[in-house]
Chain A
């Protein structure tokens, strides 16, 4: 099974700041990676798929990049509504689909 290591586990940032979250796969996942945002008390929402494609309706301040085993989610100009947990998921090789442990983003 492919393991996903996500970092950091938690993050505190100021409004307007740029934030980066990383995900490392245990083997090459050939851009088969998605990022999800989960606001407190809500279900997850798709942000990015295929490592760098923005899902419909997602603000352009979100972007994804990476290749091979290393991927990242960047949030430019942090807004208050971006306070949430963020999860990566690999879907290159399944079953099983595997998720990162998550990053909790808070405002400083």
Chain B
């Protein structure tokens, strides 16, 4: 069974940093590209970042480019999202999601709240 378990969220002040993690199980993590996708409270879905299986290709949404860094450790079956210079508009539920062009599996999400 495919499982994606996010962690690392919480309340953080504007301008500060936070690092999210996503541990994958139930499939060969190193064979798949991965995404971070977020959802602000009561809003729709916004793609944030993508990383290919071997980390050769990395893409970001314009809204986070230069502030967020996606990375992965295939030996640990773990996906990361380093978030810096956080803004109130980054407040959202962040999902880790497996990529096969579309998303076929999503984690349960981790909440990030940016507020003073």
Contacts and interface: CB of A to CB of B under 8 A. Distances in A.
B108 interface: yes
Interface string A20-45: 00000000000010101000000111
B104 A55 contact: yes
Nearest to B63: A96
A85 to B, nearest CB: 8
A94 B107 CA distance: 22
A106 to B, nearest CB: 15
A94 B102 contact: no
Given A43-B95, A43-B108, A99 B46 contact: yes
Given A43-B95, A46-B102, A46-B103, A96 B45 contact: no
Contacts of B109: 43
* Band of interface residues on B: 20 to 34
A97 B108 contact: no
Contact of B61 (A32, A46, A95): A95
- Interface residues of B: mostly helix, strand, loop or mixed? strand
* Band of interface residues on A: 20 to 34
Contacts of A36: 45, 103
A100 to B, nearest CB: 7
B104 A46 contact: yes
Contact of B59 (A46, A95, A99): A95
Nearest to A49: B102
Interface string B17-43: 000000000000000000101000000
Nearest to A56: B104
Interface of B: 35, 37, 44-47, 50, 59-62, 95, 101-109
Given A89-B45, A99-B45, A101-B44, 9 more contacts: A43-B109, A44-B95, A87-B44, A89-B102, A91-B101, A94-B50, A95-B60, A95-B61, A97-B50
